[in-house]
Amino acid sequence: MLVFLLVFVLIVYYLWSQRKNFRAWLKIGGPFGYPFIGVGLQFADQKKILKLMGHYKKVYGNFYSGWLGPKFLVATSDPNLIKSVLNSDGCIDKSDLFVALEYLMKNGLLLAKGSNWYRRRKLLNPAFTQPIILEFFDIYNDVVGSFMQKIEERVNSESFDFPDLLSKGVLEIACQTTMGKRVNLLNDENWKFFKHFHCELDILTTKLASPWYHNESIYKLSKLYQKEKLYVNTIHTFTKKIIDEKLEQHKNSEQLSLIDKSENDGNEFVKQKRIFVEQIFHHGVSGALTCDDIDDEVATVLLTAADTLTASTGMAIYSLAMFQDFQDKLREEIYSVFPKNLDKLDITYNDLKDMEYLDMVLHETLRLFPPIPLLFRNVTKDISLDGIDIPCGTQMVINVFNMQRDEDIWGLQAKTFNPEHFSQENHKNINPYTFIPYSRGIRSCIGIKYSQYVVKILLINLLHKYKVSTNTKLEDLKYYVSISLRLENEFDIQFERL
Ligand code: HEM
């Protein structure tokens, strides 16, 4: 009897605590799922999340709601609502569901909350300004040169694994530009990092979408937790080694004392201060960041950069392999700036400035294959969307993937690859909130310019030297979300020397 009474009281308390959510759900509509777990069972298979969200969009439209365990979720792919969310001061924090990522990125910029995020973003913004990024062109060209040599060595061999080589090249760039450290990843054949990193992202997605894993004690009993410990260990061993070596080098040099010598410095100091790692060590010395904070920020930047850059460059190359006409057109533009007979390309910012078609190709890639297909925010104070009260504690899900493929927005060719979507004429009619691969508003990506230059330099080098082709068709591709966008298919790709 007592147990029955207790259960009854708990149920009444639960329903009472959810009353504002029920009110919002009745107005917005959406799947109810099952009592207490909501749509948890449907979302537990990460391969189904994107498909399911596409299905809900068809059934409920661009604005719907439901429960994932006790969490009330509101999802949208409506650009006007997205604009309200991304610009609301009640939606700056990442979703509570992102607690799943904490073992990996801890308290770095990507996950930081409230005033802590604001303070850190202010500290880190100066490391990503245009003048600083322009100084990285030497590094970009140098690493991409080594990457091209590796491609050349392996292009005709059976063991040529393009995604593997690409991710190593990109991480090498990230290590050199953010840490000022050469790691020689391109020469490392047996490196487990990316395999473990991708497994970790799979685990994070499953954890994020499965309400029963949101309880730390239950999660720690699961096999998933044991696996996650292994993967996180591989990843942190790598980032920690780089940080420790850099710190040692830093201590041995006179840079720390230089940094200590205040802001009215000469050029030498400014030069030292510019690179990301020098900036954060500087904040370490001033006490603004602790050693753990520095670890977290380095891991965040390296992992975020490596994953998104590999995804966007890879998908651009795959798209151009599937659509030869666009590849030819882009190569024409590349040859107009870098004649065909040039052996080594030393690309500058001025070269990139007027390469309009390259820009269109990159935008179209990020539209059709946004590396981060879903954005998650926590509503930290009551907001109103479309005249409906969305209570504090709601988890907002922004469905970038579906919006950027919506025929009502992008026309009949929405689901195919066509850089003309971003021609000058079409571009001026685009609502900025219909194209948000880097998110938008104050919490958007910090590395936009950085990433655009790296992807462009890689594409120019690859297409200057090789024709890429494939037997895979766009309509055969199957996508799933593993924090970032992934392909279920093995993508066959051939490189032919021009
Ligand atoms: C094509 C490449 C890239 C894409 C599409 C991309 C996309 C994004 C998106 C969508 C977010 C917001 C995530 C969210 O709200 O949950 C984000 C945040 C972030 N990105 Fe990028 N990113 C790219 C490259 C980079 C690079 C190269 C770096 C570093 C060098 C970087 C560093 C970050 C950081 C630190 C954040 C967190 C910012 C904050 O919360 O204040 N990203 N990125």
Environment class of 369 (CB within 10 Å of its CB; exposed 0-12, middle 13-18, buried 19+): buried
What tokens appear for 170 in the block?
A: 């990109």
Return the best residue to mutate from 300, 302, 304 for the ligand 1 pocket (most ligand atoms within 8 A of CB): 304
What tokens appear for 324 in the block?
A: 């030869």
| pLDDT of the residue at 269 | 35
| pLDDT of the residue at 190 | 61
Q: Whose CA is nearest to atom 11 of ligand 1?
A: 445
What tokens appear for 44 in the block?
A: 């537990």
Distances (CA, A) of 81 to 56, 57, 87, 385: 17, 15, 10, 6
| pLDDT of the residue at 272 | 45
| pLDDT of the residue at 467 | 95
Q: Strand 63-68's sheet: what is its strand order?
A: 63-68, 71-76, 395-399, 374-378
**In order of start, what are the domains of the chain with their CATH numbers?**
92-372+404-497 (1.10.630.10)
Q: How far is the CA of 447 from the centre of ligand 1 (A)?
A: 6
| pLDDT of the residue at 441 | 93
Ligand 1 atom having least distance to the Cα of 372:
10
3-state secondary structure 425-443: HHHCCCCHHHCCCCCCCCC
Ligand 1 atom having least distance to the Cα of 375:
16
Residue 106 and residue 293: Cα distance in Å, rounded? 9
| pLDDT of the residue at 88 | 95
Q: How far is the CA of 304 from the centre of ligand 1 (A)?
A: 6
Q: How far is the CA of 430 from the centre of ligand 1 (A)?
A: 22
| pLDDT of the residue at 189 | 65
Ligand 1 atom having least distance to the Cα of 437:
5
Q: How far is the CA of 348 from the centre of ligand 1 (A)?
A: 24
User: Which conformational region is residue 390 in: left (phi greater than 0), alpha (psi within -120 to 50 degrees), or beta?
Assistant: beta
Q: How far is the CA of 443 from the centre of ligand 1 (A)?
A: 9
Residue 90 and residue 380: Cα distance in Å, rounded? 5
3-state secondary structure of 26: helix
Return the best residue to mutate from 445, 453, 457 for the ligand 1 pocket (most ligand atoms within 8 A of CB): 445
Q: Whose CA is nearest to atom 9 of ligand 1?
A: 438
Q: Whose CA is nearest to atom 39 of ligand 1?
A: 110
Ligand 1 atom having least distance to the Cα of 370:
5
Do residues 137 and 453 touch, judged by C-beta distance below 8 A?
yes
| pLDDT of the residue at 238 | 82
Return the best residue to mutate from 82, 87, 297, 308 for the ligand 1 pocket (most ligand atoms within 8 A of CB): 308
| pLDDT of the residue at 258 | 41
Q: How far is the CA of 424 from the centre of ligand 1 (A)?
A: 26
What tokens appear for 116 in the block?
A: 């802590």
* Pocket lined around ligand 1, Cβ cut-off 6 Å: 94, 109-110, 121, 300-301, 304-305, 308-309, 312, 366, 371-372, 375, 437-439, 443, 445-447, 450-451
Do residues 85 and 93 touch, judged by C-beta distance below 8 A?
no
Q: What is the DSSP letter of 62?
A: S
Residue pLDDT tens, the chain, 498 long: 778 888 888 888 877 888 899 999 999 999 988 877 888 888 888 888 999 999 999 999 999 999 998 899 999 999 999 999 999 999 999 988 887 777 787 778 998 999 999 999 998 898 888 988 888 898 889 889 888 988 888 887 766 788 888 988 888 888 888 777 777 777 776 677 777 888 888 898 888 888 888 888 899 999 999 999 988 888 888 888 877 777 777 666 644 444 444 344 433 333 444 667 777 777 877 778 887 888 888 888 888 888 899 999 999 999 999 999 999 999 999 999 999 999 889 999 999 998 999 999 999 999 999 999 999 999 999 999 999 999 999 999 999 999 999 999 999 999 999 999 999 988 888 899 999 999 999 899 999 999 999 999 999 999 999 999 999 999 999 999 988 999 998 888 999 999
Ligand 1 atom having least distance to the Cα of 450:
27
